[in-house]
Every structure is written in structure tokens, then in C-alpha cells.
Amino acid sequence: MNAIGLGLDTTFDDTSVAILRGAREVLANLTLSQYRDHEEFGGVVPERASRKHLEVIHPLIREALAKAGLDFADLDYIAVSNMPGLLGSLLVGVTVAKALAWSLDKPLIGVNHVESHPYANILASGPWKFPVLHLVVAGGHTLLLRADAHFDYTILGRTVDDAAGECVDKVAKMFGHPMPGGPVVDRYALKAPGDAFAFPRPLLNKPGLEFSFSGLKTAMLRFREQNPNVIRKQEPAVLSSFFQAVVDVLVKKTFRALKSEQLTRLTVSGGLAASQKLRQTFESECTHQGIELCYPPP
């Protein structure tokens, strides 16, 4: 079956529209980022985000259809992210999707935004074999999922406070870097030593698979306030050491889960999964331990 679907995502501050044929053929994939619109505030303003979604979503849909060489009549279904996310932002995408589905008399499919992260791997690498462990590392979510079949999940661990991606972005902002902070920190992590400074690895030495990154964020704030001269001279090494702490927690917790669940397959997805430092570390450790690793293109 080669059904053609229109997918909409307005969960946070990016407006994304995609057109998919069958299971893996992407005919169009467009995203409009709002980073510039929120940069002066140091974070996403929910009301501004929803207004921007409303402003750009219809032109983006038309552009996606034009890129795919299709019309509305060619669509077989409409899919939309309906949870979790900012309420106002979600409302824009869901309302537009409902209107399109109703006017075109097509099925409407609600998609969990977090659940969709691991499925991005299928587009790049094809279907995976079960059981598999999913690590989702995004701006708002960090969690470990065991999947025994499609839509059959067990949550093994999640963050109890800040997500890893949120921590990285906020620390980068703390050091004066613009949104998004992840790419800046990742570049430093690839060039500067990650062991120059010892920063905490929250919950790493405690049993269980829960994550916590708020304490690390606070430690970085205090370090910056107490060591301005060090920051001025060695900022790359400081941020590299910070990111090494994040990577250590993610990798070691993930392999703890693989061992306890006796799994040999792993997917890593979410915005922070684009980090070259994180990928290199996972690749090395997976090769060493015989784990099959899959992640989407950066």
C-alpha cells in the first residue's frame, strides 16, 4: 500500500510539514524554525510561538504540496502531533489538521510527538527487529523505552526534572550563546578536552534508570559565577567537560538498561541525537559491546 499522508507538527516552536508515500518515501519535509523570534527572550514564549505557527502553517503546507507535485485531492490521510507540547502550539496544528481531514473527507491520525522520535530511524534504516531499547533525548524529553512490538512500550526510566537537551541549551545560553545551544556545545566537545574540569553526573552512582539534569545545570551556573577568569580563558574546555558529563550519564544509563533488560538493539533519537560527540561515544561503546545501533540522519 502506497498511501500518501500529510503530517503536521506544531508541538513547540518549529512548524513542520511533511508528505510521506508508503512507509518510507518522503516526498516533502519542510520546517520553519522560530529561534530568531524568541532569541531576545532567552526562551520560547508560548503565545508568540502559537501565533507564529498560525502565520506560517498554511503557506508551508502549500509549499510542501508543490514540492511533492501533489494537490489536496491526492492525500489519503492527515496526521498531526497531538501530544505532548505547548497547548497553544498544539491547538494550531490539531485545528488545521481537523479542518483538512473534515473538508477532504480523509482519516485523521493523532501522533504522540515523543513516540514518533524513534520512528524517524525507520526512514533512514528500515524496520527494526524487536525487542529494542529506545533512548529519546530531546529538548523537552529524556527517557528510555523498551519496545516489544509496535506501540507496545515499557518506560524504563525518564528525567525527574530537566531533559538533557534542555540542560544543554540553558547552559549554552548561560555562557552567552544563542539558541539553539546544542550545536555550539557539541563543537566545543569535539575540539576541546572533556576531562579538564570535573562536573557532577547526577544519579549515575545510584541504582535505577531515572535521569536528572537540573543539578548539573545549577553546578554550571555556580561555576560560571565563581570562575569568570577561567571561563574567559578556557570556555571551550569548560563546556566540553560539561557535555562530557551529559554524555556519560546518557551512555552509562542506557547500557545499564540494555544489560538489565538483556537487549542487543538500540535506537537513539531526538534533537540531541544529532550531536556528533554523543554519536561517536555510542558508536564506540556499541561496537565494543556488540550492540546493534540505529539513529536518524542529523
Model confidence at 42: pLDDT above 70: no
Model confidence at 43: pLDDT above 80: no
Nearest alpha-carbon partner for 102 in 77, 80, 83, 81 = 77
123 shares a domain with 99: no
Nearest alpha-carbon partner for 92 in 180, 14, 207 = 14
Model confidence at 161: pLDDT above 90: yes
- Examine residue 112 and state whether it is found in any structural domain, yes or no: no
- All 3 cell numbers of residue 104? 477532504
- Domain end residue (candidates: 106, 133, 157): 106
- Examine residue 187 and state whether it is found in any structural domain, yes or no: yes
CATH number, domain with residue 223: 3.30.420.40
137 shares a domain with 88: no
Model confidence at 227: pLDDT above 70: yes
123 shares a domain with 79: no
Q: What is the pLDDT of residues 55-108, one digit of tens each?
A: 999 999 999 999 999 999 999 999 999 999 999 999 999 999 999 999 999 999
Q: Which pLDDT does position 1 carry in this prediction? A: 66
Q: Which pLDDT does position 260 carry in this prediction? A: 97
Average pLDDT for residues 144-166, to the nearest whole number? 95
How does residue 4 score in pLDDT terms, banded at 50, 70 and 90? very high
Model confidence at 213: pLDDT above 70: yes
92 shares a domain with 51: yes
- Domain end residue (candidates: 40, 72, 106): 106
98 shares a domain with 155: no
Q: Which residues face 144 on adjacent strands?
A: 135, 157
41 shares a domain with 171: no
Backbone angles phi, psi at 123, to 5 degrees: -60, -35
Q: Which has the higher per-residue pLDDT, 217 or 124?
A: 217
Range of the domain at 182: 118-294
Average pLDDT for residues 149-159, to the nearest whole number? 95
155 shares a domain with 90: no
Grid cell 554524555 in the structure block, residue: 247
Q: Which pLDDT does position 29 carry in this prediction? A: 96
- Examine residue 111 and state whether it is found in any structural domain, yes or no: no
How does residue 47 score in pLDDT terms, banded at 50, 70 and 90? confident
Q: Which pLDDT does position 266 carry in this prediction? A: 97
- All 3 cell numbers of residue 292? 546493534
Q: Which pLDDT does position 123 carry in this prediction? A: 82
Q: Which pLDDT does position 16 carry in this prediction? A: 97
- Examine residue 179 and state whether it is found in any structural domain, yes or no: yes
- Examine residue 61 and state whether it is found in any structural domain, yes or no: yes
45 shares a domain with 85: yes
| Spatial separation of the C-alpha atoms in residues 190 and 178, rounded to whole Å | 19
Nearest alpha-carbon partner for 286 in 240, 242, 247, 254 = 254
Q: Which pLDDT does position 3 carry in this prediction? A: 97
Q: What is the pLDDT of residues 259-292, one digit of tens each?
A: 999 999 999 999 999 999 999 999 999 999 999 9
| Spatial separation of the C-alpha atoms in residues 240 and 197, rounded to whole Å | 9
Structural domains of the chain, count: 2
Which pTM does this prediction carry? 0.91
97 shares a domain with 55: yes
165 shares a domain with 99: no
Q: What is the pLDDT of residues 127-147, one digit of tens each?
A: 889 999 999 998 788 999 999
